[in-house]
Structure formats: C-alpha cells, structure tokens
Amino acid sequence: MTSSGTPGFLRARLDALPPLRDGLVAAGIGADKRFGQHFLLDLNLCRKIASLAGVAPDEAVIEVGPGPGGLTRALLAAGARVAAVEKDSRFIPLLNDLGAAAEGRLTVIEGDALAIDETAIFAGDRRIRVVSNLPYNVGTPLLVKWLTGSFRPASMTLMFQKEVARRIAAPPGGGDYGRLGVLAQALCEVEIVMDLPARAFTPPPKVDSAVARLTPRRDRPDVELISALQAVTHAAFGQRRKMLRSSLKRLGGAALCEAVGVSPDARAETVPVAKFLDLAAAHLTGSFLAEP
C-alpha cells in the first residue's frame, strides 16, 4: 500500500469532508418515510458502532442503507473495504464523492438489498462483516435473509428499532421471545451492545433504537435443520397461546414433544432455543406423523 493509502492519510481525507448535515442541505435531501429513513449524523456515534463491530484494517464490510454516509465514513476510517448498498438514488452522488475521497476502498451499489446476491460482492473474500444502520421497514426481513441464506457473514452488527433488537436477544419466558429470537439465537451468539435514543437521529423516530451484534455459532445447524426449525417455530408461535400439543399437531403434536423431553402442555414462549432445535431435528427425521 502506498503512503497515500495508509489508514492515517485516509482518515485525514475523510475528516476533511464537509459535515454530513451540510451535504444533505446542499443536495436538498430529506428523509423519505417510504424507505424508513432516519439519519445518524453524529460521527462519534458512528465511530463507536464501527468499533463495536470489531472491524479490522482491510476487512470487507457490507453496509445497507448508508444514506449520507456517516457510518460509511467510520468504517472507512477504521480501514475497512466497504460495499454500500443504497436503494435511494438521491444519495448516490454523495456516496460517490465519499468513494473518491476513500481512494477505491468504497464500492457503491444502487439497488434493493433484499434482492442482491451478497456472495458476489466481495468474490474471493472468505470473511465479510455486515455493519448497518438498517432502514426500519426492512430490518427484520434482511436479518432473516442473512441468517438463512447462502451468504455467511463473519458477524453482523445491526441497528434496529429497540423493540426489534429486544426480540432478537430475548430469553424464553416473556412476550418478546418469539420466532425471530429463536432463529437468531440458534444460529448466532446475540448481544445488544448499544442503545440510542430517538433524539440521536435526524429526523427523530417515534421509538428508540439499539445495536445488536450477532456472531455465528461454530455449531451452526445445517440447511435442512434450519428449514425444519422455521417450520416448527412458525407453527408454535403462530398459535403461541395454545399448548404445543395443539399448535404442533400437524407436525407430531404430543408425541413429537414427548420424544425430546418437552411438555406437550407447554407454550412456545417457555421453550428454550436448544429444545426448539431438538423438536426441529425430530420433525426432520419424519418419525412423527401428524396426529389424526
């Protein structure tokens, strides 16, 4: 790497850029409710998120919904190579300007993150992190896509509405515990690492936000077991007020539960993640036919 590409030189170039708010004003850009946009313009907070993500120099990072590029700046300043996926075309010129300052370390992709193939973005890189302030309206479907699809990120550090982050990290026994939490915790170690009040954003949303860090488990279930887990949790939490003997009737009901040591009279919100995996594994064998 040449001297102009050293991290210190790059940080100096990024620090010399106009403030994010000035860039938005100059471009005449405001938040678009259709995209669930709330801008995080405080660069100190953006740097903290990049630090919590554990981004190391020269690591590959995918960011979704960069908007004016605050978190993008922080990731670049940490030395990352960043692919920023942005659906709102208004931000592309601002991001391209940031890319010019980053001297080739930023790739801007205009498109819908729900439709892109992440595995093709950093072809050849085996270790890719995802770090994003996710648009509120697509946060959950994007997380499910990254958890269950062919793309296997090294880690995901993601900002959600606080209530969504709570559901992802929730233990069994409460109303926040559900399908999303079981799926996330079956596949990853999940930790809420940062809370952000609504006033930290422009415009302020009606709810607070939180950053969740998800690190894939080494004993990740295989594709077939993940599919079975989705089927079991869909049935169990789709009728969460019912006992499992009823909600899981089509999958084996009481016989399925008893085979793995789960009470048929239990309700979904009381069943630990490990037991849901046991239920999914038993269902996958096909040994338990639906009750008549």
pLDDT for 103 beyond 70: yes
Query: Span 119-147, mean pLDDT?
Result: 93
> Do 228 and 252 form a contact (C-beta atoms < 8 A)?
no
Query: Span 112-133, mean pLDDT?
Result: 94
Residue 231, phi-psi category: left (phi > 0), alpha (psi -120 to 50), beta (remainder): alpha
| pLDDT at residue 289, as a whole number | 57
| pLDDT at residue 6, as a whole number | 52
| pLDDT at residue 7, as a whole number | 64
Structure confidence at residue 36 as a pLDDT band (50, 70, 90): confident
> Cα angle vertex 194, ends 192, 196, to 5°?
125
pLDDT for 290 beyond 60: no
**What is the Cα–Cα distance from 139 to 142, expressed in whole angstroms?**
5
β-bridge mates for residue 84, sequence order: 63, 108
The token pair at 73 is: 């700046």
Per-chain mean pLDDT for the chain: 92
Task: Please enumerate in sequence order all residues whose Cβ is within 8 A of that of 170, keeping only pairs 6 or more positions apart, or say none.
Answer: 176, 177, 178, 181
pLDDT for 268 beyond 60: yes
> Do 260 and 276 form a contact (C-beta atoms < 8 A)?
no
**What is the Cα–Cα distance from 30 to 47, expressed in whole angstroms?**
23
> Do 155 and 214 form a contact (C-beta atoms < 8 A)?
yes
Query: 10 Å Cβ neighbour count for 77?
Result: 22
DSSP 13-40: HHHTSPPHHHHHHHHT----GGGT--B-
Check the CA dihedral 238-137-164-71 and report its sign: positive
Give the rounded percent of residues in the chain with a pLDDT score beyond 90.
84
Reported as a single tens digit per residue, the pLDDT across 1-28 is 333 445 677 888 888 888 999 999 999 9
**What is the Cα–Cα distance from 123 to 265, expressed in whole angstroms?**
49
pLDDT for 120 beyond 60: yes
* Strand residues in the chain grouped as ranges (E): 60-64, 81-86, 106-110, 128-133, 155-161, 188-196, 209-216
**What is the Cα–Cα distance from 257 to 232, expressed in whole angstroms?**
11
The token pair at 258 is: 């008893």
The pTM (predicted TM-score) of the whole model is 0.92
The token pair at 83 is: 């692919």
Between 3-12, 32-41, 136-145, the lowest mean confidence (pLDDT) is in 3-12
DSSP 234-289: HHHHHTTTSBHHHHTGGGTHHHHHHHTT--TT-BGGGS-HHHHHHHHHHHHHT-SP
Query: Span 34-56, mean pLDDT?
Result: 93
Q: Long-range contacts for 101-108 (Cβ within 8 Å, ≥24 apart)?
A: 101/13, 101/14, 101/16, 101/17, 102/10, 102/13, 102/14, 102/76, 103/4, 103/5, 103/10, 103/13, 105/10, 105/76, 105/80, 105/81, 106/72, 106/76, 106/81, 106/82, 107/81, 107/82, 107/83, 108/84
| pLDDT at residue 12, as a whole number | 82
Query: Span 146-164, mean pLDDT?
Result: 96
| pLDDT at residue 123, as a whole number | 85
Reported as a single tens digit per residue, the pLDDT across 196-252 is 999 999 999 999 999 999 999 999 999 999 999 999 999 999 998 999 999 999 999
* pLDDT greater at residue 38 or residue 274: 274
Structure confidence at residue 89 as a pLDDT band (50, 70, 90): very high
Reported as a single tens digit per residue, the pLDDT across 249-261 is 999 999 999 999 9
| pLDDT at residue 277, as a whole number | 98
Closest by CA to 63, choosing from 5, 118, 141, is 118
| pLDDT at residue 3, as a whole number | 38
